[in-house]
Amino acid sequence: MLFIDIITLFPVMFQGIKGTSMWARAQDMGAVALNIWNLREFSRSKQYKVDAPVFGHGPGMLYRVEPLFAAVEQLRSDSSWVVNPSPSGKVFTHEDARRLAHKEHLIFLCGHYEGIDQRVIDSLVDEEVSIGDYVLTGGELAVMVIIDALIRFLPNVLGDSQSLEEESFSRGLLEYPQYTRPEIFRCQRVPEILLSGNHSRIDKWREEKAVEKTKIIRPDLLEGKGGM
């Protein structure tokens, strides 16, 4: 069982996803235990203030250190791994999802405004992760993306274990095109070969299509594979 604690000022953002689809399934089967904590409840100041202006000059508010220290120090144990989502972190990949899925306990911070006080990062955070080269208004969506990606690696969460192995990125290729019924829709036919029943020819066709697509859309994935 993987324990996940999320510290956020906007717990409501997680309510929908927590009870939906694979997230619900993973919790129901005991693969993951998710707890959402309101950062404000860890603030001891009268007005429950959790933010303050940045020292120096320029605009922006930061998360104060005290509530974050109180939260992490209450929740963590020796086996905890603290992740701070941030556009200045290392870009999150399929391999990071697999690696995080093998931890015992993950604690996610969700910064807003301009971010969090550097002392939190220096003393509490094990890893900073970005989900891509753009800026979100807060860490919650990034945390959802990260958890969604890692949940797929928890044992038995995906019904058909093949779908994990065959997918894009495990093989370093984008996914080949797939079709279902009907065979003809608005004059567009399903490629004949997929109806042939010939598994080895279908596998070969899928591989070719995957390489073709990867060359056009993500040539960087083929670098170093002798595929260019």
In the complex, the smallest distance separating the C-beta of residue 160 from ligand 6GU, rounded to whole angstroms, is: 30
Q: Which of 30, 11, 43, 9 is nearest to 157 (CA)?
A: 30
Nearer to ligand 6GU, 88 or 198 (CB): 88
Nearer to ligand 6GU, 143 or 158 (CB): 143
What backbone phi and psi angles, to 5 degrees, belong to 186? 45, 50
In the complex, the smallest distance separating the C-beta of residue 139 from ligand 6GU, rounded to whole angstroms, is: 5
In the complex, the smallest distance separating the C-beta of residue 83 from ligand 6GU, rounded to whole angstroms, is: 9
Q: Burial of 159 by CB count in 10 Å (0-12 exposed, 13-18 middle, 19+ buried)?
A: exposed
Nearer to ligand 6GU, 55 or 134 (CB): 134
In the complex, the smallest distance separating the C-beta of residue 85 from ligand 6GU, rounded to whole angstroms, is: 3
In the complex, the smallest distance separating the C-beta of residue 42 from ligand 6GU, rounded to whole angstroms, is: 20
Q: How far, in whole angstroms, is CA 115 from its chain's centroid? A: 19
Nearer to ligand 6GU, 87 or 177 (CB): 87
Measured distance CA(153)–CA(161) in Å, rounded = 10
Nearer to ligand 6GU, 96 or 212 (CB): 96
Q: Roughly what angle, to the nearest 10 degrees, separates helices 21-28 and 140-151?
A: 60
Question: What's the Cα-to-Cα distance from 81 to each of 5, 33, 101, 225, rounded to whole Å?
Answer: 10, 15, 11, 33
Measured distance CA(37)–CA(19) in Å, rounded = 16
Measured distance CA(91)–CA(160) in Å, rounded = 28
Q: How many residues does the chain have?
A: 228
Cβ neighbours of residue 195 under 8 Å, at least 6 residues apart? 183
Chain residues in the site for ligand 6GU (CB under 6 A): 85-87, 129-132, 134-136, 138-139, 142
In the complex, the smallest distance separating the C-beta of residue 11 from ligand 6GU, rounded to whole angstroms, is: 17
Nearer to ligand 6GU, 114 or 175 (CB): 114
